[in-house]
Structure 1
Amino acid sequence: MSESQRPLEGKLGIVTGGSRGIGAAIAENLASKGCDLILNFTSPSSSGPIAAIAANLSKTYNVEAVAFLADMGDSKGPATIVDFAVSQFTQTHTNPQTGLLQIDIIINNAGVSYNRYIQDCTPEEFHKQYNINVLGPLLLVQAALSYLPHDRSGRIVNLSSVSASQGFEAQSVYGGTKAALDAMTRTWSRELAERATVNSINPGPVTTDMYAGTSLQFREKLRPFIEHTPLAQMDTSKMSEEEKRKYKLAGGREAYPKEAAGIVGMLCGKESGWCTGSVICANGGMVFST
């Protein structure tokens, strides 16, 4: 296939939280463009499903996709991903100038969310969310520093959220973690300017296990926001009665994981080389700017 068909041929990427939802969709988007991948997962219970995902991507897109277990909430976890990359891919992805492994793409997708009102927040959940959503990405990029490109061709994309800017009730902690991730995105774009572009995307509600686990009360609070999201509004005339019922309750439709993944894929391409330090809208217009 031509470069236009496989624009990420020869690249190596890391996708954290790659076993399901947006992470799995991102992995497929990148693999379809020729990118070899390390798919990180946290829970041993996900080992079977993610192994199947990796095998399918390898076979379907003729890439090398491998799964690796590491807890992004453990201070030692992120570095083990990079160590694994060095052991697994140095022979096939060596930077000729440095003689070291080259990691071209990092997608910080792994995340956790607990919706709690002020009085219900606990130190344990606070630290867990910040460890996974903020410290984990920082430590992964830190561990990967020696292996990033030196020609600005690297791509780092952080999975943020509309929660970083919209002030949803019960998201003192989760929204704060995503705002912190956006702040790091801007800082990294300066520090890594000669190595890689660094951007965030900010999805709204997406049809994932994480969003499915939110309470009915939270969804009711979110409905007015969805009702004013341009791309969440659709013609319901061809929907089944059950689909119409769900649509009405939600105030519109949620995004599909592949839609968020498509924006990540766009930011990983050569054409995105003049875009850095930005939070890119990936929410159908729920948030026009941040």
Structure 2
Amino acid sequence: MSRPDYRRTASTNLKAATSGKPLQGKLAIVTGGSRGIGAAICRNLAEKGASLVIGYTSDSSSDITAKLASSLESSHGINTLSVQADMGNPNGPAHLITTAKNHFSHPRSGKFQIDIIINNAGVAKDMPLGEITPEEFTRQYAVNVLGPILLMQAALPYLPTNRSGRIVNLSSVSSSLGFVGQTIYGGTKAALEAMTRTWARELAERATVNSVNPGPVATEMYGGTSEAFQKHLKPFIQSAPLQKVRAGIDEERFVEDADNAGGRPAYDYEIAGVVAMLCSEDSAWCTGSVVCANGGFRMST
């Protein structure tokens, strides 16, 4: 049985393969792409040839996003577009898609296609049950749950119609491990995983839809967690196969802190590698899954 051509012509596929850039000619949207895991995902996809729409939220991220975009363009010869859009604002997702369409549409035919969407933007704040407020509930669910829904709605007209699209949602081990203080955050990530399975069915003829579930990652968000929360994580880290530190290989700060933390967090590029794998042609038979991106921190998913 011959292998179907899901997106590109045979000559284009051959060109991408021989160039070592399997995502050449693809357009990827990455929300929360200015820093941390999002920026690492942008770097990985750019290395593989994808052009990028890098979404960011705050004015304080404008400069670092511009520098990231410029660096990726010069290093990998891709096209980038940085778009400031608040995923927690009902108008933000549609603004991002409209801006991307205006920039990347073919100048003569008007054709515009979104090949890859990474729903990475997210917010978190740990709160004990007795201190949860409607305002904080609304804030986290607006960004972490409603934001991806509205982005997907705005993107629907521009997704491929031949299963070549790739949607990856950034979940968390918090969706299933019941960490103290994460009634809201853990709930948002569980909702995102449920949405992943629903979208995998609804979009079956257009794209695969998967989630990844990082554990602790060496980002600003993890660095801002409390000492009590990190102490709570220690037994999980100690039992994770890949979170054991390796002197002379891992960053010295993690080696020095290993006794206190129980091991090391992930590096952002390790998460990005799993996400990029799910964006490849080779992942075409994987959909509706929550894929481990946590070094064995959560092994039963």
Deviations 1:128-168, CA, capped at 9 Å, x for gaps: 00000000001000100000000000000000000001111
Q: Which is further off, 118-127 or 231-240?
A: 231-240
Aligned: 1:11 with 2:26: yes
The residue that corresponds to 1:122 in the other structure is 133
Root mean square deviation, CA, Å? 1.7
CA contact (8 A) 2:120 2:170 kept: yes
* Structure 2 alignment gaps of length 5 or more: 1-13
Kept in 1, the 8 Å contact 2:81–2:100? The answer is no
Could you tell me which residue of structure 1 aligns to residue 68 of structure 2?
53
Tell me how far 1:92 sits from its aligned partner: 6.9
Aligned to 1:289: 300
Shift of 1:239: 7.6
CA distance in 1, matches of 2:251, 2:270: 23
Equivalent residue, structure 2, for 1:67? 82
Equivalent pairs, count: 286
**Which position in structure 1 is the counterpart of 2:94?**
79
Counting aligned pairs with the same residue, the percent is 56
Question: Under a length normalisation based on structure 1, what TM-score does the superposition of the two structures give?
Answer: 0.95
Alpha-carbon distance in 1 for matches of 2:75, 2:251: 33
State which of 206, 218, 238 in structure 2 corresponds to 1:227: 238
State the secondary structure of the residue aligned to 1:232. coil
Note closer, same or farther for the CA distance 1:56–1:238 as it changes in structure 2 (3 Å cut).
closer
Superposition pairs for residues 12-51 of structure 1, below 5 Å?
A: 12-51=27-66
The TM-score normalised by the length of structure 2 is 0.91
- Give the AA of the match of 1:54: A
CA distance in 1, matches of 2:297, 2:108: 39
Q: Which letter maps to 2:44? A: N
Is residue 177 of structure 2 the alignment partner of residue 166 of structure 1?
yes
**Consecutive unaligned residues in structure 1, runs of 5 or more:** none
Tell me what 1:259 maps to.
270
Query: Partners of 1:132 and 1:242 in 2: how far apart?
Result: 32
Q: Structure 2: which amino acid aligns with 1:88?
A: H
Deviations 1:72-112 (A, max 9, x none): 00011000011011100011797xxxx63100000000000
Shift of 1:240: 9.1
Check 1:90–1:171 CA distance in 2 against 1; reply closer, same or farther (3 A cut): same
Which of 199, 203, 213 is equivalent to 2:210? 199
Contact kept in structure 1, 2:85 and 2:96, CA below 8 Å: yes
